[in-house]
Structure 1
Amino acid sequence: MTFSILAFVILMLMGMPIAFVIGISGVIWFLQQPYLPKVIPIQLALSQTQSFALLAIPLFVIAGNIMNSAGVTKKLFDFAGVLVGHMHGGLAQISAVLSALMGGVSGSSIADAAMETRMLGPEMLKRGYPKGFAVAVNVWTSLVVPIIPPGIAFILYGSIAQVSIGRLFAAGILPGLILTVVYMIVIWISAMRLKLKPEREKRAAATEVLRSLRANIWSLVFPFLLIVGLRGGIFTPSEVGALAIFYGIAIGMLVYKEMNLKKFFTETLDNSLGDIGSIMAILMMSQVFTYGLVWERIPEKLSNILLNVTDSKVLLMVLISFFLVFLGLFLDATAMILMLTPVFYPVAQVLGINPIHFALVFILSAAMGNQTPPVGASMYAGCSVLDASIEEYTKASIPFLISTILVILLLILIPHLTLIVPNLIFGR
């Protein structure tokens, strides 16, 4: 496995797309095994595309893009403005709330970072926001999106670890809201320091809030319908994804009337194909690489090492979390979930850590990789829209990075924060 890991590091430093890095490294390992048929890597890659559970991924990707094309984003933006536009740094506060709302319809941190930076970034610059801060706000608040259901990361993790995807969806609600509130506090402190003004003079009246809520009810109700459908056993995750597509089309064509067939085929499906292609390429290649890890008994060896270091659940989760945050400097979040779930999940099982609690900490720690330099995809999406430098972004990101790590530590120390909602909905 040494040559495969070495190839992995070299190819990654060369800037090769992560799917090819993973696939080539896995094939190199197979070439070193004289007794294994060389057709196995092809079989492994293709078998990943035949998983019924993973069918939910392309369906939710399409559903998220449909929701964006259907005018949901603009409606939610207006609703967020009514809720928090009166606060200091109003546009930045809107970004935080909008990301929480988009978590219920999108599930993609990268797409949300690009969309919100494009929507809010230019207006932020006109109002005197520093460029680095404007990008950092939109990029870091997008971290909430994959945590609030329906998140694609939950589907990947649940499929690999054989953990209830419905429980994972429910478990993400409270941590996602906590993260949103923490980001709003960070924004408020920064806005006071930078003397950034609110977007509106006073708080919206209750009647205005209710009117805006009524206009957005079709968008806001979707994640609750999703969880109710899973809890009642009415739908599987894949079937919910298919339902989400029809739901989004119905909203776009019949309710908001901002979608037509031309827009559906030329914009929505076109964007979806690119998103699905990149995810499935990583998914296929990761199976090849993971086969070598399991064959070499890497999970078992790592488990023994970690258990020799500590038998404390809290300390073990802290070590794994910080390891994931560090790897996020170099690896895509999707790749980490696919490759490292089979490695670390057995360790958590040995110590008796609740699988849902561990999953939330694991996914949030891995998802930070999209926000951190030098390879964060969400970071590049935001910086490219406003033509901001990585240095400007990194400097402005420090308060968000620290606050995110504190939230992760809070979730580790208080498991109930991740378990209370799924236990209420699905039972203990």
Structure 2
Amino acid sequence: MLWVFIVFVFFLLLGMPVAFAIGISGFVFFVQQPSLPFTMPAQLILAETQNFALLAIPMFIFAGNLLNNTGITSRLMALSSVLAGHMHGGLAQTSVVLSTLMGGVSGSAIADASMQCRILGPEMLKRGYSRGYAAGINGFTGLITVAIPPGIGLVLYGSIGEVSIGRLFAGGIVPGLLMMIFLMAAVSMTARAKGYAPERPSRAPLSDVVTTAVRSLWALLFPFILIVGLRFGLLVPSEAGSFASIYALVVGVAAYRELTWEKFVSAVRFTVMDVGMIMFLIALSGLISYGITWEMIPQTLSQVLLNFSEDRHAITAIVLAFLLVLGMIVDSTVIILLLTSILVPIMAHVGVDLVYFGVVMVLTCAIGLLTPPVGVSMYSVCSIMECSIEEYIRESWPFAAAVVAVIVVLVFFPQLVLFVPNWIFG
């Protein structure tokens, strides 16, 4: 597997698309194994696309794109402003709350960060926010959508690691809320220091909050309906994705009446692009996953870690530190696809709950979306806000520290992740 790794890194450094780098390096493994028939790579690629559990991914992506075209975003924006506009750095606080509410709609950190920069970015600049600060807060708040169900990363981890997706969805709720609290605290401290004023002179009356919340009710109910359906066996994950798409259609056509034919076609087009990219990655990653299993890498790494320490907290911290660094150079989706099959047996062997580990793994990998040198969200928000990477890094480090602090808290207090799944699912 050493040559597979070398070839993979070599093509990444050349700037080759990740899917092709994975596919070519996977073929290298089979070239080195004359005992394996060379028809296996084609069979494995096709077999990866036939995983029934993965059917949830395109359906959830389609549901998210539909919901973004139904008027839900503008309603959630109004609710976020009512809830957080009276705080220092009102627009930045609104960004944090909006991402928390949008977690049940988009499920994509990159999509959420880009959307918020387009919606809130111009207003932030008019209010005197620096470009780097606006890019940083809109980017890092997008990470909340990774935790709040239905996050696509959690679906991938659950499908590959054979872990309950319903429990993973429930496990992401408290970490998502913790990120909201920590990021709001970071915004409050930095906004006071920079003189970013509130948007409202005082807290909004309760009647305004209730009225605005009622207008956003369909979006607020969405993640809870999914979890209830999974809890009581009314839906399996693939059916939950289909239900989510039907739910989005009904909301857009019957409830809000804002889903036009043009918006529907746009949602389908973006879904095809997103699903094509993800499924291509999944299909080609099957080659390397087979090589990892063939070489018994999970067992070897497990023994190495146990020789280093038998304390599960220490092993969890080591693995997460490795993922945090790796996330800076490899896309989070690729990490989940390639390493889940390695890390799940290791963490199970040392006694770490796989639902807990899945949530913290996905969150840790997602931080790399906002760090150089290959942070996709980072380049997206910097491009939209027209700011340099240097300014972005200088202004956004408090938000990065807040998110890392959440991961540290979760390492020492696993029950923060497991409380809700155990309460709901038993």
Same fold (TM over 0.5): yes
* Distance of 1:318 and 1:94 partners within structure 2: 32
Q: Which amino acid in the other structure matches residue 338 of structure 1?
A: L
Structure-2 residue corresponding to 1:374: 373
* Distance of 2:27 and 2:390 partners within structure 1: 37
Tell me if 1:396 matches 2:399: no
* Distance of 2:113 and 2:240 partners within structure 1: 25
* Distance of 2:120 and 2:24 partners within structure 1: 40
CA contact (8 A) 1:143 1:371 kept: no
Per the TM alignment, residue 413 of structure 1 is displaced from its structure 2 partner at its CA by 0.5
* Distance of 2:227 and 2:419 partners within structure 1: 15
Q: Summarize deviations over 1:11-33 as a string: whole Å, max 9, x none.
A: 11112111111111111111111
CA contact (8 A) 1:158 1:165 kept: yes
Identity of aligned residues (%): 47
SS in 2 for 1:221: helix
* Distance of 1:347 and 1:71 partners within structure 2: 44
CA contact (8 A) 1:107 1:151 kept: yes
Tell me if 1:286 matches 2:285: yes
* Distance of 2:222 and 2:264 partners within structure 1: 20
Farther off after superposition, 62-71 or 249-258: 249-258
* Distance of 1:157 and 1:55 partners within structure 2: 14
After superposition, residues 108-147 of structure 1 pair within 5 angstroms as 108-147=108-147
Structure-2 residue corresponding to 1:258: 258
SS in 1 for 2:227: helix
Tell me if 1:221 matches 2:225: no
With normalisation by structure 2, the TM-score equals 0.98
Structure-1 residue corresponding to 2:404: 405
Structure-1 residue corresponding to 2:68: 68
Q: Which amino acid in the other structure matches residue 217 of structure 2?
A: I
Per the TM alignment, residue 370 of structure 1 is displaced from its structure 2 partner at its CA by 1.2
The runs of 4+ residues in structure 1 deviating greater than 6 Å are none
Q: Summarize deviations over 1:187-213 as a string: whole Å, max 9, x none.
A: 111101110011111110000000001
Aligned residues: 426
Per the TM alignment, residue 353 of structure 1 is displaced from its structure 2 partner at its CA by 1.0
* Distance of 1:287 and 1:368 partners within structure 2: 25
SS in 1 for 2:142: helix
Structure-1 residue corresponding to 2:103: 103
Could you tell me which runs of 5 or more consecutive residues in structure 2 were left unpaired when the two chains were aligned: none
SS in 2 for 1:331: coil
* Distance of 2:406 and 2:395 partners within structure 1: 19
Q: Summarize deviations over 1:352-390 as a string: whole Å, max 9, x none.
A: 111111111111111112121111111112111112211
After superposition, residues 133-282 of structure 1 pair within 5 angstroms as 133-265=133-265, 267-282=266-281
CA RMSD of aligned residues (A): 0.9
* Distance of 2:153 and 2:340 partners within structure 1: 11
Structure-2 residue corresponding to 1:93: 93
Q: Summarize deviations over 1:286-313 as a string: whole Å, max 9, x none.
A: 1111111111111111111111111111
SS in 2 for 1:34: coil
SS in 2 for 1:145: helix
SS in 1 for 2:203: coil
Per the TM alignment, residue 262 of structure 1 is displaced from its structure 2 partner at its CA by 2.4
Per the TM alignment, residue 349 of structure 1 is displaced from its structure 2 partner at its CA by 1.0
CA contact (8 A) 1:182 1:403 kept: yes
* Distance of 2:263 and 2:317 partners within structure 1: 46
Q: Which amino acid in the other structure matches residue 369 of structure 2?
A: N
SS in 2 for 1:233: coil
Tell me if 1:387 matches 2:403: no
Per the TM alignment, residue 46 of structure 1 is displaced from its structure 2 partner at its CA by 1.2
CA contact (8 A) 1:54 1:238 kept: yes
* Distance of 2:15 and 2:396 partners within structure 1: 23
Q: Which amino acid in the other structure matches residue 174 of structure 2?
A: L
Q: Summarize deviations over 1:194-251 as a string: whole Å, max 9, x none.
A: 1001111111000000000111111100111000000010011111111111111111
Q: Summarize deviations over 1:118-137 as a string: whole Å, max 9, x none.
A: 11111111111111110000
CA contact (8 A) 1:135 1:393 kept: yes
* Distance of 1:223 and 1:410 partners within structure 2: 24
